[in-house]
Amino acid sequence: MTVFLAIAILIVGIAMLGLAGGFVVGAIRRTRAIEAQETQEAQPYGTATDLESPRGMWAGAGISAALAMGALVGAAIVLISIMAAPTRMLHAPAQAGGLQRDDSPGTQQLISRQRERLKAAGMPNPLTAVYHEPAQARKTVLFIGASGHIDQPEERLKEFIGGLAESTGTSDRKPSGYPAGRLKGTVMCLDQLSTGQATLATCGWADEGTLGVITTDAGDAAQTAGLLLSMRDDMEKTP
């Protein structure tokens, strides 16, 4: 719909430029006719003819040109906004990858605070959510993601997963790459991250428009990578 709006504004701008050009041509012709009349009147036996002043046509040309420029600038703004907008967005559905979203008040307060911290850190359109296996809490999955322009997505993902590893005291390990699936991009994982109370695995994907990372307290890197791709299919959508 936005594309059609930009095209419509562009057409209006071009039409107004054409109208301005018509006014200019008419004004020039009328000016020349007045000049020719003045020359004729200066001749012996010259006859006078009433000709309308070209001022109105010059004014019409100026107004049309101003409207045309406004329309063209508006079209450019709309097109730039389309190009800058992410082609895909993230959302947290009630179910993702076969897991159930945790909507308990305590969890919602926790992820809300986490989302505000991510926003303050400059992450575009941050999204956080917690998921569990249906009807039990044996597997807990924390999701952190963002949608918008992501510069050097592979490096950003590596930094993000590296920060998680550092928080568990294993900063010397580097994430390994895994297949990204149909949505493409880069996928990286780390497992055996110990917090002293649990052993975690984390996987994430990144491309130029989205980034998503899951951390789970059950499963190795390969299992977590498979879960990540399944959740991504449910969470990454066209706006």
At 116, the amino acid letter reads E
Detail the DSSP E strand segments found in the chain: 89-90, 95-96, 99-101, 127-132, 140-147, 176-178, 186-194, 199-206, 210-216, 236-237
Judgement on whether residues 168 and 212 belong to the same structural domain of the protein: yes
Give the integer Cα–Cα distance in Å for 104 and 151.
35
pLDDT tens, N- to C-terminus, the chain (239 residues): 444 444 444 455 455 555 555 655 665 666 666 666 556 555 554 444 455 665 665 555 556 555 545 545 554 444 444 445 556 789 999 999 999 999 999 889 888 988 888 888 778 889 999 999 876 656 789 999 998 888 888 998 988 888 877 777 776 778 899 999 899 999 999 988 877 777 889 999 999 889 999 998 877 899 999 999 999 999 998 76
Q: Which CATH number goes with the domain that contains 210?
A: 2.60.120
Model pTM above 0.95: no
In order, the DSSP letters of 138-184 are SSEEEEEEEES--SSHHHHHHHHHHHHHHHTT-TT--PEEE---TT-
Judgement on whether residues 118 and 223 belong to the same structural domain of the protein: yes
Judgement on whether residues 219 and 110 belong to the same structural domain of the protein: yes
Domain limits for position 171? 89-237
Judgement on whether residues 203 and 110 belong to the same structural domain of the protein: yes
Judgement on whether residues 140 and 214 belong to the same structural domain of the protein: yes
Give the integer Cα–Cα distance in Å for 107 and 84.
33
